[in-house]
Amino acid sequence: FGSYAQRDAAKHMLRLRLPGGRVTPERLHFMAQAVQQYHVPFLKLTTCEAIQMHDLTPDEVPAIMEAAIPCGIITRGGGG
């Protein structure tokens, strides 16, 4: 579902899929809020219509996943 443990097992990466690669103002706003709220050190824009958030705690992953849904951002199918 787009969530992976990083080499440091205490941290996780979450791959947020943007259907069709469309970045809307609402989606950008969500990303900016999530970065601030969860102190995400960096994002990666991928070539696979997704944005990756790194260095998340296990508790942050499901919270971000749930908050992303109303913006049309999903994690299902975000496998590597």
Looking at residue 47, its amino acid is: T
Q: Assess if CATH 2.30.110 describes domain 3-71.
A: no
Give the pLDDT of the chain (80 residues) as one tens digit per residue.
677 788 877 899 999 999 888 999 999 999 999 999 999 998 999 888 899 999 999 999 999 999 999 999 998 765 65
pTM for the complete prediction? Answer: 0.86
Q: Which H or E run includes 30?
A: helix 25-37
Q: What is the pLDDT of residue 3?
A: 79
Contact status, residue 10 vs residue 22, Cβ threshold 8 Å: no
Q: What is the pLDDT of residue 7?
A: 84
Instruction: Characterize the bridge pairing of strands 3-5 and 12-17.
Output: antiparallel
